[in-house]
C-alpha cells in the first residue's frame, strides 16, 4: 500500500494519539470516577483512563492497539462492533445498560454512553466510550422486581384474603380473593374504600377500633375469630391476623393482615355440636330406657323372689320345695340377663368403675367354680382348679368383676362341653418377677368342648355374637357374656385371648398385673351370694317400726312379709304424699322409700321430710327401694337425702344387713326425746283439727301485715311443719340465717359467673324457701338454678338481672321473717 493511501488514516491516528499525549486531557480523564475509553475508527484502543484500567484489571500495555475481538468473546465483541458502527454512521450518541465481564471473570452490569470522536471538520474519526458500574443497582432492581412478582403472584393466587391499609383504614392493596369476596371483579376498584363501604356499621366500627389500636400501640392482633356481618348476605366467619405496616424507617404507616374464611368450619362445628347434643340425648334416652327396663323387670322379679323366699319359710314337701328352687333358679337367670345388659351399657358409656380392695384370688376362682358345679355335675363334667404355689395369696383389685369374668368363661365352657370337663389354671408368669409390690398372673379356662372355627374366633368376643347362629337355639344366651368379659379384662389392664380347635376344645386366657395385698388374713366378701331359700337370718334385732312407701300391691306384700319374717312391724303407704301424712302422725324408726310412686315420688317425699326436719335434732333413716340399677339412681337417692338404698329384687339377708346398719343409731336416738319432730295429727292443707296431737295454735297467730302479706305462705307452712306455731317460729329463725348466707353466696357466684356453684346454691335456697312458702324468692332461685344449668350466668346482663331480682325478693322475705319473729325479740 502506498504512503499516500495511508495519509488519511495517519492523520486520524495522529489526532487520536493526541488524547494519549495531551497531559491536560489525560489528567482530566484520569480524575473522572467513570471509565473512559477511546477507540479508533477500526476499533483499536488509543486511550483509556485509569478508572477503566482498574475496573478491567489491566495495564495500558495490555490493551493499547487491541480490538474488541482480541479482548472479548465473539458474541460480545460482535455486539460492541455493531454499536460502534451505528454511532459512526449516524453520528448519534447511544445510551444503554448492558451486561459485561469484569476483571474477576464474573458478569456484571454497566451503564454506558457511546459518542463519536470528530476531527476539526466534524468527521467521525473514532468512538468515545464512557461507562460506569451499575451491577449493584441492577441486582437491587431485579430483586425488587422479583419480590414484586412474588407479591403479585401471592395476591392473585392465594385463596385467603390479604390486604394493606393506610392510617385511615383505606385499602391500598388487596388480594384477588378479597376483591372477589367483596363482590368486585377488579382489585383496583377496592382501593381507597374502607370497611364502612362494605360491612355493616357495627362490624366496620369494630374493625376500625382494632386497627387504631394496632397503629397506636404497634401490637398485632393474631388469630382472632371474627363474625363478618354484611348488608346483603348472611353472616360469615373468618380467622384473621392484623399487623402494623411500617416504612423503611420503622414508622407505622398503616396496617396489613390476612384472614381465612372459616364459615364452613363454623357450620361444621355447629353441626358437630348438634350431633353431640343429639348423641347425648340418645345416650340419655338409652339410659332412661335401660333404667325403665330395669325397673319394669325388677319389679315383678321382686315379687317372684320375695314370694319364693316367704314360701320357702312355710311347711313344704319335697316336690313343693323343688318347685320353689326352680323359681329361684329362673329368677337368678333373669337377673344375670338383666345385669349383662346393664353392664354392657355401662361399659359402652364408660361409666363402669372398678373397685380396689384386698381379696383372695384363689377364693374367687373356687367361688366361681362352686356357682357352676351343679350345672357341671348334671352333664357329668369334671371341674378342676390348678394353682401355682408361686402365686401370692392375696391381691388388690375388684373381686366381684373378676369373679364375673370367671363365671362367664366357666359357664360358657360348661355350656359348650358335653364330654370331659373344664380346667381353671392360675399361675404366675415365670418370666416376670414380682416388682414394686405387683405380680403378673395368668388365668386360663380350658374345656374339652366343641371348639370354635378359626374364622369365627374373633367374632365370639364381639357383642351379641355366638360361634354359630344355630347354637342360639341349642344353647341359648345373649352373646353378651364374652364381650363383657373381654371389656372387663381390658379395664383391669389385660387382654382376653383364646386358642381353639374344632372338636378338641377351647382355652380362654388373660394376663393381669395386680398389686399384692399386704393383709395376711382377710374376711372373704361374698356380696353376690344370696341366702338359700329359708335360711335363717344370722343377725338378731329388736323389732323396729318401719314405714314402707311402695305403690305396687304385690311388692307391698313381699316387703311386709320379709319384714315380719325378720320380726319387725311395718305400715304401708301407697304414694309419697300418704308417706308424709303417716310420718307426721305416727312414730317410725325407719322408712323404706320406693323411688317411683304416683302423686309424689320417693325423691320428692324424701326432700320434703328432710326440709321439715330442718332446725330439729331428729333425722329418720330413709332407705331407697329401687328397681333401677344405674349409678345415676344411687346418686339421685343420696342427693334427695336418702341414707342408703336396696336394689330390687330384695333378698331377705340383704334387707336384714341394711336394717342392722341403722339399729344402733335408732336405739341411741330413742334414749333422748324427739325434738320438734314429734308427730302431730296435722293433715295436709290449711288449719289443724282439734283432738289428740293437734296444736292449739291458730293460724291467726302467724298473720303478717299488709306490707309483707304474700311473702310467706304461713298457713301452708303451719300445716306442714311439726310443732304448730312454735315449730314455724323455730324454723323461721333457722331459715333467716340460712337465707342470708345463701343469698350472699349466690351474689358472689353471679358476679363471678360461676354456673355450677350458683346452680347448687340456688337449688338449696329453692328447697329451703318451700318450707315457709316463700314462693317469689323460690321462683327466683329456680330461675338462677336453670340459668346455671344452661351456663347462662357468664352473660353479664343476665347475671345482673338475676342479682337484682334475688336482692329484691330476699330483702322482702327477710323483712317478713323479722316481722314474724318480732314478738320473740
Res 309 pLDDT > 90: no
- As a 3-state breakdown, the chain gives helix, strand, coil percent values, each rounded to 5, of 50, 20, 30
How do residues 419-451 score in pLDDT, each as one tens digit? Answer: 999 999 998 886 555 557 888 999 999 999 888
In sequence order, what DSSP letters do the residues of 532-553 get, joined into one string?
PTTPPPS------EEEEE---H
pLDDT for 733: 78
**Helix axis angle, 796-821 to 775-789, nearest 10°:** 150
The pair phi, psi for residue 222, each rounded to 5°, is -120, 130
Average pLDDT over residues 181-189: 91
**Measured CA distances, 277 to 144, 272, 274 (Å):** 55, 8, 5
Q: C-alpha grid cell for residue 44?
A: 483499536
The region of weakest confidence among 582-586, 589-593, 812-816 is 582-586
pLDDT tier for residue 10 given thresholds of 50, 70 and 90: low
CB under 8 A, 24+ apart: contacts of 772-775:
772/712, 772/713, 772/714, 772/717, 772/728, 772/731, 772/732, 772/735, 772/813, 772/817, 773/712, 773/713, 773/714, 773/716, 773/717, 774/711, 774/712, 774/713, 774/809, 774/813, 775/713
Extract the C-alpha cell encoding 624. Answer: 331407697
Residue with cell 393506610: 166
CB 71 within 8 A of CB 52: no
pLDDT band, very low/low/confident/very high, at 508 (cuts 50, 70, 90)? very high
CB distance 736 to 748 below 8 Å: no
Please give the DSSP secondary-structure letter assigned to residue 667: H
* CA 787 from centre of chain: 21
Range scoring the smallest mean pLDDT among 240-249, 356-365, 472-481, 622-631: 472-481
304 or 623, higher pLDDT: 623
Higher pLDDT, 165 or 288: 165
Alpha-carbon distance 252 to 265, whole Å? 34
Which runs of consecutive H residues, i.e. helices, occur in 674-723?
Answer: 714-720
With beta carbons less than 8 A apart as the criterion, state whether 562 and 655 touch: yes
The pLDDT confidence band at residue 740, using thresholds 50, 70 and 90, is confident
Average pLDDT score over the chain: 80
- Comparing 231-240, 484-493, 521-530, 544-553, the range with the smallest average pLDDT is 521-530
pLDDT at 351: 61
Q: For residue 316, what are the CA distances in angstroms to 311, 332, 560? A: 8, 21, 21
Q: Is the peptide bond before 269 cis (omega within 30 degrees of 0)?
A: no
Return the pLDDT at 671: 53
- CA separation for the pair 593, 607 (Å, rounded): 12
Residue 686: its pLDDT value, please? 30
Q: What is the pLDDT of residues 651-679, one digit of tens each?
A: 777 888 888 888 877 776 655 444 333 33
Residue 578: DSSP 8-state: H
C-alpha 782: how far from chain center: 28
Q: Average pLDDT of 118-144?
A: 88
What are the b/e assignments for 179-194, b being 16+ CB within 10 Å?
A: bebbebeebeebeeeb
Whole-angstrom distance, CA of residue 509 vs CA of residue 275: 39
Instruction: Render pLDDT for 595-621 as a digit per residue (tens, 0 to 9).
Output: 888 778 899 999 999 988 887 778 899
Q: For every residue of 430-463, which 3-state class applies, written as one string?
A: CCCCCECCEEEEEEEEEECCCCCCHHHCCHHHCC
Distance from C-alpha of 511 to C-alpha of 515, rounded to nearest angstrom: 13
DSSP letter for each residue of 735-782: HHHHHHHHHHHHHHHHHHT-HHHHHHHHHHHHHHHHHHT-HHHHHHHH
- CA 715, 717, 722, 726 dihedral sign is negative
Q: What is the 3-class SS of 325-390, one letter each residue? A: HHHHHHHHHHHHHHHHHHHHHHHHCCCCCCCCEEEEHHHHHHHHHHHHHHHHHHCCCEEEEEECCC
Q: Which residue has the cell 335363717?
A: 536
CA dihedral defined by 664, 666, 667, 669, rounded to 10 degrees?
120
CB 84 within 8 A of CB 39: yes
Give yes or no for residue 205 having a pLDDT over 90: yes
* pLDDT > 70? residue 631: no
The model's pLDDT over 689-726, given as tens digits with 9 standing for 90+, comes to: 333 333 334 334 567 887 777 788 877 766 655 556 76
Name the percent of the chain lying above pLDDT 90.
24
Residue 5 has pLDDT above 50, yes or no: no
pLDDT tens sequence across 475-486: 444 456 787 888
Determine the 3-state secondary structure of 104 from DSSP: coil
Strand ordering across the sheet containing 45-48:
45-48, 35-40, 124-133, 107-118, 94-101
Residue 2 has what pLDDT? 35
The strand pairing partners of 775, in sequence order, are none
Whether the per-residue pLDDT at 132 is higher than 70: the answer is: yes
Element of type H or E holding 285: helix 263-312
Of 261, 62, 87, nearest in space to 160 by CA: 261
Alpha carbon of residue 719 to chain centroid: 48
Give the whole-angstrom CA distance, residue 725 versus residue 696: 9
Angle formed by the axes of helices 263-312 and 631-640, nearest 10°? 80
Position with higher pLDDT, 230 vs 671: 230
pLDDT surpasses 50 at 274:
yes
Residue 156 has pLDDT above 90, yes or no: no
Strands (E), 481-607: 497-501, 505-515, 545-549, 569-573, 590-594
Question: C-alpha distances in angstroms, 51 versus 31, 127, 132, 242, 771?
Answer: 8, 18, 9, 52, 109
Q: pLDDT by residue (tens digit) across 12-71?
A: 556 566 555 577 788 888 888 899 999 998 899 999 999 999 888 889 999 999 999 998
Domains of the chain in start order, with CATH, are 3-135 (3.30.450.20), 158-261 (3.30.450.20), 353-515 (3.30.565.10), 545-670 (3.40.50.2300), 699-824 (1.20.120.160)
> Which residues, 6 or more positions from 269, have their beta carbon under 8 angstroms from its beta carbon?
none
pLDDT confidence band for 638 (50 / 70 / 90):
confident
Regarding predicted confidence, which is higher, 678 or 331?
331
Burial class of residue 650 in the structure, from the number of CB atoms within 10 Å of its CB (0-12 exposed, 13-18 middle, 19+ buried): buried
Mean pLDDT, range 74-94, rounded to an integer: 89
Q: What is the pLDDT of residue 524?
A: 41
pLDDT at 123: 86
Longest distance between any two alpha carbons in the chain, whole Å: 167
Instruction: Tell how many helices (H) and how many strands (E) occur in the chain.
Output: 26, 22
pLDDT of residue 526: 41
Q: What confidence score (pLDDT) does residue 101 get?
A: 73
Amino acid at each position: 500500500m502506498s504512503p499516500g493511501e495511508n495519509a488519511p488514516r495517519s492523520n486520524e491516528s495522529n489526532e487520536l494519539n493526541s488524547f494519549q499525549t495531551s497531559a491536560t486531557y489525560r489528567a482530566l480523564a484520569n480524575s473522572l470516577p467513570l471509565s473512559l475509553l477511546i477507540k479508533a475508527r477500526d476499533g483499536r484502543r488509543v486511550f483509556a483512563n485509569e478508572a477503566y484500567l482498574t475496573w478491567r484489571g489491566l495495564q495500558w500495555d495490555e490493551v493499547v492497539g487491541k480490538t474488541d475481538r482480541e479482548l472479548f468473546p465473539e458474541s460480545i465483541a460482535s455486539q460492541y462492533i455493531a454499536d460502534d458502527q451505528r454511532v459512526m454512521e449516524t453520528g448519534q450518541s447511544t445510551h444503554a445498560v448492558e451486561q459485561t465481564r469484569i476483571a474477576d471473570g464474573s458478569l456484571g452490569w454497566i451503564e454506558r454512553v457511546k459518542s463519536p470522536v470528530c476531527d476539526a471538520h466534524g468527521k467521525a474519526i473514532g468512538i468515545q466510550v464512557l461507562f460506569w458500574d451499575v451491577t449493584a443497582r441492577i441486582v437491587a432492581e431485579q430483586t425488587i422486581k422479583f419480590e414484586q412478582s412474588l407479591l403479585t403472584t401471592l395476591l392473585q393466587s392465594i385463596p385467603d384474603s390479604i390486604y394493606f391499609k393506610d392510617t385511615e383504614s383505606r385499602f391500598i392493596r388487596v388480594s384477588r380473593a378479597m376483591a372477589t369476596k367483596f363482590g368486585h371483579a377488579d382489585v383496583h376498584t377496592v382501593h381507597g374504600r374502607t370497611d364502612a363501604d362494605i360491612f355493616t356499621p357495627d362490624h366496620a366500627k369494630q374493625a376500625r377500633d382494632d386497627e387504631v389500636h394496632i397503629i397506636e400501640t404497634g401490637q398485632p392482633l393474631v388469630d382472632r375469630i371474627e363474625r363478618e356481618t354484611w348488608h346483603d348476605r348472611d353472616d360469615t366467619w373468618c380467622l384473621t391476623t392484623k399487623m402494623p405496616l411500617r416504612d423503611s424507617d420503622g414508622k407505622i404507616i398503616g396496617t396489613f393482615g390476612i384472614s381465612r374464611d372459616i364459615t364452613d368450619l363454623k357450620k361444621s362445628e355447629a353441626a358437630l355440636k348438634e350431633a353431640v347434643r343429639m348423641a347425648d340425648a340418645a345416650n340419655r334416652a338409652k339410659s332412661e330406657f335401660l333404667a325403665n327396663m330395669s325397673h319394669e323387670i325388677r319389679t315383678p322379679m321382686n315379687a317372684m323372689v320375695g314370694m319364693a323366699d316367704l314360701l320357702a319359710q312355710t311347711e313344704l314337701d319335697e316336690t313343693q320345695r323343688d318347685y320353689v328352687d326352680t323359681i329361684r333358679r329362673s329368677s337368678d337367670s333373669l337377673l344375670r340377663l338383666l345385669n349383662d345388659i346393664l353392664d354392657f351399657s355401662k361399659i359402652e358409656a364408660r361409666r363402669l368403675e372398678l373397685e380396689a380392695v384386698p381379696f383372695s384370688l384363689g377364693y374367687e376362682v373356687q367361688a366361681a367354680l362352686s356357682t357352676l358345679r351343679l350345672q357341671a355335675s348334671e352333664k357329668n363334667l369334671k371341674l378342676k382348679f390348678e394353682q401355682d404355689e408361686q402365686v401370692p395369696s392375696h391381691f388388690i383389685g375388684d373381686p366381684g368383676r373378676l369373679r364375673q369374668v370367671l363365671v362367664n368363661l366357666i359357664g360358657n365352657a360348661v355350656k359348650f362341653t358335653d364330654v370331659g370337663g373344664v380346667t381353671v389354671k392360675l399361675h404366675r408368669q415365670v418370666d416376670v418377677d414380682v416388682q414394686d409390690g405387683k405380680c403378673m398372673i395368668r388365668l386360663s379356662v380350658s374345656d374339652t368342648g366343641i371348639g370354635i372355627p378359626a374364622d369365627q374366633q374373633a367374632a365370639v368376643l364381639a357383642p351379641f355374637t355366638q360361634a354359630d347362629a344355630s347354637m342360639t337355639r341349642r344353647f341359648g344366651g345373649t352373646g353378651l357374656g364374652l364381650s363383657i368379659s373381654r371389656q372387663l379384662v381390658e379395664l383391669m389392664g389385660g387382654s382376653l385371648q383364646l386358642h381353639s380347635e374344632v372338636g378338641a376344645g377351647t382355652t380362654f386366657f388373660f394376663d393381669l398385673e395386680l398389686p399384692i395385698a399386704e393383709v395376711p388374713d382377710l374376711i372373704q366378701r361374698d356380696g353376690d351370694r344370696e341366702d338359700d331359700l329359708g335360711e335363717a337370718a344370722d343377725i338378731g334385732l329388736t323389732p323396729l317400726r318401719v314405714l314402707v312407701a311402695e305403690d305396687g300391691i304385690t311388692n307391698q306384700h313381699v316387703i311386709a312379709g320379709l319384714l315380719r319374717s325378720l320380726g319387725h312391724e311395718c305400715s304401708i303407704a301407697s304414694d309419697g304424699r300418704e308417706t308424709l301424712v303417716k310420718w307426721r302422725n305416727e312414730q317410725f324408726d325407719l322408712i323404706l322409700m320406693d323411688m317411683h310412686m304416683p302423686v309424689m315420688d320417693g325423691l320428692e317425699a324424701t326432700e320434703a321430710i328432710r326440709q321439715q326436719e330442718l332446725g330439729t335434732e331428729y333425722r329418720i333413716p330413709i332407705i331407697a327401694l329401687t328397681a333401677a340399677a344405674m349409678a345415676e339412681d344411687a346418686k339421685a337417692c343420696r342427693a334427695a337425702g336418702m341414707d342408703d338404698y336396696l336394689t330390687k329384687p330384695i333378698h331377705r339377708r340383704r334387707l336384714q344387713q341394711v336394717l342392722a346398719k341403722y339399729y344402733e343409731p335408732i336405739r341411741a336416738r330413742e334414749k333422748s326425746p324427739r325434738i320438734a319432730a314429734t308427730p302431730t295429727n296435722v293433715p295436709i292443707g290449711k288449719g289443724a283439727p282439734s283432738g289428740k296431737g293437734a296444736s292449739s295454735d291458730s293460724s291467726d297467730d302467724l298473720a303478717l301485715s299488709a306490707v309483707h302479706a304474700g311473702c310467706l305462705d304461713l298457713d301452708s307452712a303451719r300445716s306442714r311443719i311439726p310443732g304448730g306455731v312454735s315449730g314455724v317460729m323455730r324454723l323461721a329463725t333457722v331459715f333467716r340465717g340460712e337465707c342470708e348466707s345463701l343469698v350472699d353466696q349466690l351474689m358472689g357466684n353471679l358476679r363471678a359467673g360461676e354456673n355450677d356453684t350458683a346452680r347448687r346454691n340456688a337449688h338449696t335456697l329453692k328447697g329451703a324457701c318451700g318450707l315457709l312458702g316463700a314462693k317469689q324468692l323460690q321462683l327466683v332461685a329456680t330461675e338462677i338454678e336453670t340459668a346455671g344449668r344452661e351456663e347462662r350466668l357468664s352473660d353479664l346482663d343476665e347475671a345482673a338481672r338475676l342479682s337484682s331480682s334475688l336482692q329484691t325478693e330476699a330483702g322482702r322475705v327477710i323483712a317478713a321473717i323479722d316481722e314474724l319473729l318480732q314478738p320473740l325479740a
